Structure formats: C-alpha cells, structure tokens
Amino acid sequence: MNSLINIYSIPTFNETSDYFNALSRSIIFQQLSGKAAETIYNRYLNLFKNRCPTPEEVIDFDVTILRSAGISQQKTEYLKGLARYFSKQENKIDFIQLTGTAVFNELIKLKGIGQWTIDMFLMFTLHRVDILPVTDLGIQKGFKILFGLDYLPSNEYMVNKSNPWRPYRTIASFYLWRVVDDIDFSKIL
C-alpha cells in the first residue's frame, strides 16, 4: 500500500448532507463502468432545475423522461422509491449520528439499495474511514493487482489482507481504485 500512496495523490472527499442525491447517484452508478455511469448521471441531473432534484420532483417526474436519460426501468423504480422515502417527514434521518450498522439497517429496507450502495454512502457521504467495499469489482481487481493474484479474491481474503489498513480502509480503497482505473476520483466524488 505504501507504494500506491507514493504514486497517487492524497484522496479528498466532498462534504454533503444531501443524502437523497448522494444515494440517487449511487443507485445510478450500480453495476456500470465509471464513465458510462457518469454520462447517465449527468443526463439525469440535466433534467432538473439547478441539476439538484428534490425527492418531490423525482416522484412527480415522468418515467419515460427518466428512462430517456439512460436509466433502466428497475433503477427508475428504485429512484422513485428512494424519493418517496425521503419525502416523508418521518424519514428526515440524520444519518451522520448513526453507527454504520444502524445506517445499514435503515437503508437496506429500501428496494434497490444493497451492501455496495450502503458502502458508497458510508464512504463518500458520511465519510466513515474504515469501510472496505468487498462487493465492488474495482476493489476486487485492486486486490488482484496489488497482491499479484491470478483470480479475483474472496471477501474473506480481502478482509484478512486489509486488517493492517484498519482503521483507514476507506482511504486504502481509494488507492485500490486508483491502481485499477488510474482515475482522479476527487474530481467525480
């Protein structure tokens, strides 16, 4: 890991308390390459005034127009469900005050939100420093490269190998992504 730290810049993470849009972004990015996801996400943002949709706008937005931005039918349903969740007054949760487990238990109830989306939310929105998103293909590829493997590692392998990086596995993940994609994530997150 030291060699990666010496090669790549120090990670930066942008501050946001806009939980709805942070989770919307993660939903759109699910199972897509970074470039494709970024294109679709920008088309999605361009549909809304000020490029910052509110939950109420997403609820009321025509599904066909959302789909025309390149968002799948399934993800459109997920975005609308997320919007309904955040539009309810009782769901104005201050996630920053919750433990990682409590955040997981709250968000996993929502259709379309799984471990990967929650990990991204914990890392890039709540700035939790010890998250290792083992379900992320980029992280798996990063382990493969870093440890000279001929195969993608198991979750158990990654957790064991990452123990020396505790309590800063979020930062280590940043470097693993960099070695795979050589992308400056500070420009997109």
Domain stops at, among 108, 124, 140? 124
Domain stops at, among 124, 158, 173? 124
CATH of residue 95: 1.10.340.30
DSSP letter for 26, please: H
Find the catalytic residue in 136, 181, 182, 184. 136
> Could you give the C-alpha distances from 94 to 62, 98, 112, 163, in angstroms and in order?
29, 7, 21, 30
**Does 27 lie in the same domain as 113?**
yes
Q: How many other C-beta atoms lie within 10 A of the C-beta of residue 127?
A: 14
pLDDT at 40 over 60: yes
Domain stops at, among 81, 106, 124? 124
Question: Rounded distance, CA 81 to CA 72, Å?
Answer: 14
Question: Rounded distance, CA 131 to CA 170, Å?
Answer: 5
Q: Which residues have a Cβ under 8 Å from the Cβ of 174 and sit 6 or more positions away?
A: 11, 185
Domain with 6, as residue range(s), is 2-12+131-187
Helix (H), strand (E) at residue 63: helix 63-68
Question: Is-contact 138 35, C-beta < 8 A?
Answer: no
Q: Determine the average pLDDT of the residues in 6-18.
A: 71
**Does 95 lie in the same domain as 157?**
no
CATH of residue 168: 1.10.1670.40
**Does 115 lie in the same domain as 85?**
yes
pLDDT at 13 over 90: no
Q: What percent of the chain has pLDDT over 70?
A: 87
Most confident of 11-20, 112-121, 180-189: 112-121
- Among 12-21, 33-42, 110-119, the range scoring the smallest mean pLDDT is 12-21
**Does 116 lie in the same domain as 158?**
no
**Does 61 lie in the same domain as 41?**
yes
**Does 49 lie in the same domain as 118?**
yes
**Does 85 lie in the same domain as 39?**
yes
Q: How many domains does the chain have?
A: 2
**Does 136 lie in the same domain as 67?**
no
**Does 166 lie in the same domain as 112?**
no
**Does 164 lie in the same domain as 77?**
no
136 is annotated as an active-site residue: yes
**Does 7 lie in the same domain as 58?**
no
Supply the pTM of this predicted model: 0.85
Q: Determine the average pLDDT of the residues in 129-140.
A: 95
**Does 113 lie in the same domain as 46?**
yes
52 alpha-carbon distance from chain centroid = 17
